[in-house]
């Protein structure tokens, strides 16, 4: 069967629909190539000595795994020389990474979570990479302030999943497509296009060990799901929690569901666990493009105006009707 390659998909988006420029196409191809390299390292695991701790911590005080560092370096090295970027920002770097002076600069900003699901690396469970593309400001500045744009300004977003197969799920604002890596030829081949998340679901994902810290709207919503047939919802719900956002979101892209990482009362100053700029925003863009919804309970994720590169946010996303219901529980009155 003659499948459409990622290159052809992007060329057609550029040529037929004028949706992306050649420069953005190059950027996305380079990101895909970096994900392929990360996938190879992930696949070798202990044989390549890539498992375990790096012995360092990132800006959020989380200890880094070797693969967090390797994936970050892979993305930086792949993207710094192509001339398409003004700067990059990552979960693993305190400040934006400027393009070295020896290379030309371009019109885009790239943000990434190089390795999502770090706690799953050493136990051989699916992990991934998440990325987001913004336009650099006209004035050519590429400092931290340049990145602080609401998610609805993203030009493209995607994630790779390093699982039983390696996948790349991408949007350029014209629906969501999924590519599978053919490990023999090294090509990304289109295996699903115009992905649609079912509006209804009976599956939810949340780290229930935090239940005692949840705020009342989240507690009410989850209690109703757990009450099943006998409760207010009059139906049973099933729970799944991979603890890699990429894998949990990909399940929702495949068969629907709701994913929640709410804020909780442990640290009132900390509005959630996940990071807005390189986790919540790209996933919210993808989920909305697939007909789903994404909120922090009070506001559409994509409308949040960031104030810090590494800011955290509560996340509730997936099947539209469930996200609307949990949002309604957050409204006063
Ligand atoms: P990261 O590995 O990039 O720090 O992100 C991990 C995130 C996300 O992937 C996942 O949904 C969540 O953390 C898991 O949290 P718990 O450890 O609370 O399950
Ligand atoms: Mn992550
Ligand atoms: Mn990460």
Flag whether pLDDT at 1 surpasses 80.
Answer: no
Structural domain for 101, as ranges: 6-192
34 CA → ligand 1 middle, Å: 22
Residue 283 forms part of a structural domain: yes
| 223's tokens | 């209690």
Q: What is the CATH number of the domain that holds 105?
A: 3.30.540.10
Residues 208, 176, single domain; the answer is no
Residue 198 forms part of a structural domain: no
Residues 100, 78, single domain; the answer is yes
Q: Is 116 in the pocket of ligand 1 (CB under 6 A)?
A: yes
162 exposure class (CB count in 10 Å sphere: 0-12, 13-18, 19+) = buried
Q: For 158-217, what is each residue's pLDDT tens digit?
A: 999 999 999 999 999 999 999 999 999 999 999 999 999 999 999 999 999 999 999 999
Residues 40, 151, single domain; the answer is yes
- Point out the ligand nearest to the CA of residue 210: 1
pTM value?
0.97
Residues 184, 72, single domain; the answer is yes
Closest residue (by CA) to atom 18 of ligand 1? 207
Residue 1 forms part of a structural domain: no
Residues 30, 152, single domain; the answer is yes
Residues 209, 147, single domain; the answer is no
Residues 40, 114, single domain; the answer is yes
133 exposure class (CB count in 10 Å sphere: 0-12, 13-18, 19+) = buried
Q: For 81-131, what is each residue's pLDDT tens digit?
A: 999 999 999 999 999 999 999 999 999 999 999 999 999 999 999 999 999
Q: Which atom of ligand 1 is nearest to the CA of 248?
A: 11
Best residue among 61, 66, 207 to mutate for probing ligand 1, ranked by most atoms within 8 Å of CB: 207
Flag whether pLDDT at 266 surpasses 90.
Answer: no
Pick the last residue of a domain from 145, 169, 192.
192
Best residue among 117, 162, 210, 275 to mutate for probing ligand 1, ranked by most atoms within 8 Å of CB: 117
Number of domains into which the chain is organized: 2
Q: What is the CATH number of the domain that holds 258?
A: 3.40.190.80
Residues 176, 291, single domain; the answer is no
Residues 175, 215, single domain; the answer is no
Flag whether pLDDT at 29 surpasses 80.
Answer: yes
Pick the last residue of a domain from 169, 192, 215.
192
Pick the last residue of a domain from 161, 192, 223.
192
What angle, rounded to 10 degrees, do the helices at 245-255 and 281-289 form? 10
Closest residue (by CA) to atom 11 of ligand 1? 245
Residues 245, 105, single domain; the answer is no
279 CA → ligand 3 middle, Å: 9
Confidence grade of residue 264 (pLDDT, cut at 50, 70, 90): confident
Residues 100, 146, single domain; the answer is yes
């Amino acid at each position: 069967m003659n499948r459409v390659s990622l290159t052809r998909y992007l060329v057609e988006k550029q040529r037929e629909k004028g949706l992306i420029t050649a420069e953005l196409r190059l950027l996305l191809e380079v990101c895909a190539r970096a994900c392929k390299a990360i996938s190879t390292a992930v696949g070798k695991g202990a044989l390549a000595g890539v498992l375990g701790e790096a012995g360092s911590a990132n800006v959020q005080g989380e200890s880094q795994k070797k693969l967090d560092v390797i994936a970050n370096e892979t993305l930086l090295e792949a993207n710094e020389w192509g001339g398409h970027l003004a700067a990059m920002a990552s979960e693993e770097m305190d400040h934006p990474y400027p393009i070295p002076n020896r290379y030309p600069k371009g019109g885009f900003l790239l943000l990434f979570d190089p390795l999502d699901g770090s706690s799953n690396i050493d136990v051989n469970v699916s992990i991934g990479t998440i990325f987001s593309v913004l336009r650099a400001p006209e004035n050519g500045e590429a400092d931290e302030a340049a990145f602080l744009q609401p998610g609805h300004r993203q030009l493209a977003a995607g994630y790779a999943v390093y699982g039983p197969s390696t996948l790349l799920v991408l949007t350029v604002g014209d629906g969501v497509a999924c590519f599978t890596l053919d490990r023999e030829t090294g090509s990304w081949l289109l295996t699903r296009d115009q992905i649609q998340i079912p509006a209804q679901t009976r599956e939810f994902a949340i780290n229930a060990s935090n239940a005692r810290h949840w705020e009342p709207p989240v507690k009410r919503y989850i209690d109703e799901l757990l009450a099943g047939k006998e409760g207010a919802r009059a139906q049973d719900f099933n729970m799944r929690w991979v603890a890699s956002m990429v894998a949990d979101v990909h399940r929702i892209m495949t068969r629907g569901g709701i994913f929640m990482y709410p804020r909780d009362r442990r640290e009132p100053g900390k509005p959630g666990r996940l990071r807005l700029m390189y986790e919540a925003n790209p996933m919210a863009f993808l989920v909305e493009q697939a007909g789903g919804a994404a909120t922090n309970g009070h506001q559409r994720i994509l409308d949040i105006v960031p104030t810090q590169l590494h800011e955290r946010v509560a996340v509730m996303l997936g099947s539209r009707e469930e996200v609307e219901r949990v949002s309604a529980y957050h409204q006063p009155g």
